[in-house]
Structure 1
Amino acid sequence: MTTIFVSGLINIETTVQVDRFPIEYSPVRYPFFGVRSTVAGVGYNVAKALATLGDSVRLASIVGRDMPGALVDAQLRADGLPGADVLALAEATAQSAILYDPAGRRQINTDLKDIQELRYPPEQLERALDGCALAALCNINFSRPMLARAKARGIAVATDVHAIGDLDDAYNRDFMAAADLLFMSHELLPCDPEAWAARVQQRYGTPIVVVGLGAGGALLAVRADGFVGRFAAHAARPIVSTIGAGDALFSAFLHSYAAAPDPYAAIQRAIVFAGYKIGSIGAAEGFLSHAALEALLAELPG
């Protein structure tokens, strides 16, 4: 069992089903069973996916001293995730409202409250990093000082900078520079994914770059092999919502790569894992166990 450190956002996520985008104005709607509130956020999504896959997880995050923060604590316990490093340091817990349509498209509205101004206690971080083989440091401000600490310990750093289009992006530059495993979305890229991956590796020397391509699957660039290639998507069941698909891709890749550092096998497993996950509504739902993932992979044609 691999021990993986995860630092990232936890929020209360409310999903609202809409008929289509753009949304036609109506003063009142009644989408029965179309409005749900759950605990999610990138940090939570990644930690829960890794734990479902069988990894040992250390989850560091910041929540509020409020009722939503208490809900996070209860959900951590219900999901069997460790809560010792999830600290109630904020006045209010972050929240998101996500609109999604029958085609699986979504619009995410995230209110981070004052979390971007808060600092994670360094002494607690040092204890949490002990014995970890990999650090998944999500691009939230309290993760930023953790980049140097993980690197100083010789722990490989993985991060996902999501929708990005500038190599010198002021917010994400630190994360891109530190990453051994770097994920991002294709949605805002200024060029084709192959050219972008080459630019990233030339600028930062990143060993492994993965670009999520949505329905197009994912692109993998492995610097040591000079490899750049696309891997097709796999829809294991009908799509309900693409919320959290990128987090699922990231998590399953880390799970596989931490166990055996083969990026080609890891991306194939990650695509199947994410393709199954999008048959669920919430970002922290629909995860396969390791055994179920391997069984699904075994059913695929050679």
Structure 2
Amino acid sequence: MSKIVIAGITQFETVIKVDSIPFDMNRMIHDSPIYVGGGGDAMNEAFALTTLGDQVYFMSVVGQDQNVEVFNPPDFKVHINTDYILPVMKSTPSEIIFFDNDQHQLIFQDLKDIRQAKYDMSMVRPIMAEADLLLVSNANFCRPFIHYALSAGKKIALNMRSYSKEKEKYNADFLENADIIYISDDTIEGDPYEFIDDFTRRYDPEIIILGQGKTGLILYDRDRHVKFHYNSVKTNEVVNSLGAGNALISCFIHYYLETKDSVNAIKNGLLYASYKTGFMRTCEGFLTPEQVEQWRDLIWKTQSVTDMYGVEVPEN
């Protein structure tokens, strides 16, 4: 079991299933599944890592009058610790997500006053001293966490999600200090391997995971001299792919801290993300370690090396 500090956004989500995107705005949509509840990158990571058995310190900010226990759905078997979710904003951020059967998404996000929010760091220093890793998003209130993790000599994992060249300078403190970086390729132009090469030259992280949606991902491991594309795997029927990246980076971190083996960890991360897409809510569908082992045996005892990587490479 690892001790992990998570710092990032918590929000309310309204998730709506529609027939297709774009949809006819002049037509009433009947009988579409709708979910309203808690979500956000940090909350999803907290549920994933708690389900995997890690001790999680979930540090986030919400509205001043917010009852933080609403972020523990009553039908969930896993309960996350909400002691470190601070009600320091005027109101809690929210997001509306439309998705269809082809996994097209239309997202409306209202982050409220989160850019001005500040976290009370007085409680962070003693916790960080005992932690194994900081998993952080690039929200403004998360910037001080980088300093505390560096001061304590802890590994830093950055869940950056989308990338923008124009905004990269605002994320320099995160990128320069992160040991593990997860980025989705949704907004990346050009060759993905060249993108990774450029990143490694400028920031020299230990690990880069470049998510590539349905096609899988690219794993870069500096110390193992690994830079491979891994195909996605099939577990559940896909219902909603939103949140798969949070599941993947969470699972990768759990097994990387446990085994120091990035290839083992990314294989587990791929099946973890695949299984999670079988659920509508972004904060559900997380496997236990026992379930991960069951799925791993099912997938890689029968899958060829070519199917796994998409290229002919030696088996690890």
TM-score bucket (shorter structure): over 0.9
Amino acid at match of 1:159: L
1:3 counterpart = 2:6: no
Q: Which amino acid aligns with 1:86?
A: I
- 1:251-270 paired onto structure 2 within 5 Å: 251-270=250-269
Q: Distance in 2 between matches of 1:27 and 1:105?
A: 19
Counterpart position of 1:73: 69
Question: Identity of aligned pairs, percent?
Answer: 28
Give the match's secondary structure for 2:130.
Answer: coil
Q: State whether residues 38 and 70 of structure 2, in contact with CA within 8 Å, keep that contact through their aligned partners in structure 1.
A: no
Counterparts of 1:9-158 in structure 2 under 5 Å?
9-32=9-32, 34-66=33-65, 69-70=66-67, 72-76=68-72, 78=74, 79-158=78-157
Mapping of residues 169-208 of structure 1, within 5 Å: 169-208=168-207
User: CA deviation digits over 1:99-151, x for unaligned, max 9?
Assistant: 10012222222211011101111212213323110110112111111112101
Secondary structure of 2:208's aligned partner: strand
Secondary structure of the structure 2 residue equivalent to 1:224 = coil
Please say which of residues 102-111 and 14-23 is displaced more in the overlay: 102-111
Determine helix, strand or coil for the equivalent of 1:170. Answer: helix
TM-score by length of 1: 0.94
Q: Report Cα offsets for 1:245-281 as digits up to 9, x if no partner.
A: 1111111101111111111111110000001100011
Conserved in 1, the CA contact under 8 Å of 2:129 and 2:152? no
Q: CA deviation at 1:283?
A: 0.9
The answer for unaligned runs of 5 or more in structure 2 is: 302-316
> Deviations 1:222-251 (Å, cap 9, x if unpaired)?
112332111110120110011101111111
2:232–2:270 Cα contact (<8 Å) kept: yes
Q: State the one-letter code of the partner of 1:16.
A: I
Give the number of equivalent residue pairs: 298
Over the residues paired in the alignment, what is the CA RMSD in angstroms? Answer: 1.5
Name 2:305's counterpart in structure 1: none
| Aligned residue in 1 for 2:242 | 243
Which has the larger displacement, 216-225 or 103-112?
103-112
- Measured at CA, do residues 198 and 216 of structure 1 come closer, stay the same or move farther in structure 2, by a change above 3 Å? same
CA distance in 2, matches of 1:179, 1:301: 30
* Aligned-partner residue type, residue 61 of structure 1: S
Q: Which runs of 5+ in 1 are unaligned?
A: none
Please list the CA deviations of residues 56-89 of structure 1 after superposition, one character each: whole Å capped at 9, or x if unmatched.
10000001123xx22x323338542111111111
Return the alpha-carbon distance in structure 2 between the equivalents of residues 76 and 144 of structure 1. 26
Question: Alpha-carbon deviation of 1:168?
Answer: 6.4
Please give the alpha-carbon distance, in whole angstroms, between the structure 1 residues aligned to 2:52 and 2:157.
17
Label 1:58 to 1:135 Cα distance change in 2 as closer, same or farther (>3 A).
Answer: same
How far is 1:221 from its partner? 0.7
Residues 167 and 173 in structure 1, CA contact (< 8 A), matched pair in contact too: no
Q: TM-score, normalised by structure 2?
A: 0.90
Q: 2: distance between equivalents of 1:244 and 1:77?
A: 17
Once the 2 structures are TM-superposed, how far is the Cα of residue 187 of structure 1 from its aligned partner?
A: 1.1
